[in-house]
């Protein structure tokens, strides 16, 4: 019988966060843990394309260690570079109008 390790699976919506504590067998990969997690029971349509462990992007085949926290990242609503570019353009426009 394989030893069990404790991990966490984290997911956040814009206004609410979810943290699940899970027990998985040693040698379990990120993808295996996600597929068997309560997260996918509660949110069966969640997009798991981008995941990380403690804030660092990781691959599905990464083997988990005791205490790891898998984080499921939501897709960005807007590209931060585009948003910043629009802010700069708006500031320049306001500056010209103010002169």
Q: Which residues of the chain have pLDDT under 70?
A: 1, 76-80, 99
CA distances, 15 to each of 19, 57, 64, 74, 94 (Å): 14, 23, 28, 13, 32
Encoded tokens for 20 = 């699940």
Q: Where are the domains of the chain?
A: 4-98
Query: How far is 98 from 51, CA to CA, in rounded Å?
Result: 45
**pLDDT score for 24:** 97
What is the bridge-based pairing of β-strands 69-72 and 51-53?
antiparallel
CATH 1.10.10.10 describes domain 4-98: no
pLDDT of 81? 77
């Amino acid at each position: 019988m394989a030893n069990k390790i404790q991990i966490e699976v984290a997911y956040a919506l814009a206004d609410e966060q979810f943290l699940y504590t899970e027990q998985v067998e040693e040698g379990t990969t990120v993808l295996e843990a996600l597929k068997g997690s309560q997260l996918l029971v509660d949110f069966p349509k969640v997009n798991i394309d981008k995941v990380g462990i403690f804030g660092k992007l990781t691959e599905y085949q990464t083997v988990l260690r005791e205490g790891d926290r898998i984080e499921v990242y939501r897709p960005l609503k807007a590209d931060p570079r585009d948003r910043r570019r629009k802010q700069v353009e708006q500031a320049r426009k306001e500056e010209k109008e103010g002169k």
